[in-house]
Amino acid sequence: MAQADKNAAPEQKRPQMRWDDAKMASSFANVVNVQSTREQVDLFFGVNQTWNMREDPTLVVELLNRIMLSPLAAKRLSLMLNSVLREHEARYGALDLDK
């Protein structure tokens, strides 16, 4: 038994993670668009600035942020968003995109 203990791989500790929000900025977006290439996925966030479509039928979106992700990070984000939205809908009801 002592021999088996000597040959056992050392137990690997999971690294600790600390979220440093000292430089974090928060912004609101009610418009999002996505584009991608083989190497990255780009998320564009903005705010619809249109007040009265009857007076001016031009939709004005102020783009505020672009987040560039690797495809792997985008896949992880997709899984996390799907999970959060399932929980949200279970708690508050279905979100209807056609409204």
Tell me the per-residue pLDDT of 50-76, one tens digit each, with 9 for 90 and over: 888 788 888 889 999 999 999 999 999
Q: Is residue 1 part of a domain?
A: no
Please give the Cα distance from 19 to 73 (Å, whole number): 17
- 13 by Cβ neighbours in 10 Å (0-12 / 13-18 / 19+) ranks as exposed
- Count of domains in the chain? 1
Give residue 7's Cα distance to chain centre.
43
Q: Is residue 87 part of a domain?
A: yes
Enclosing domain of residue 32: 27-92
Q: If pLDDT is split at 50, 70 and 90, which confidence band does 79 have?
A: very high
Q: Helix, strand, or coil here: 41?
A: strand
| Average pLDDT of the residues of the chain | 91
Q: Is residue 15 part of a domain?
A: no
Task: Outline where DSSP puts E strands in the chain.
Answer: 31-36, 41-48, 61-69
Q: Is residue 33 part of a domain?
A: yes
Q: Is residue 13 part of a domain?
A: no
What pLDDT was estimated at residue 5? Answer: 61
Tell me the per-residue pLDDT of 1-41, one tens digit each, with 9 for 90 and over: 556 566 666 778 889 999 999 999 999 999 999 999 999 99
Terminal alpha carbon distance of the chain: 67
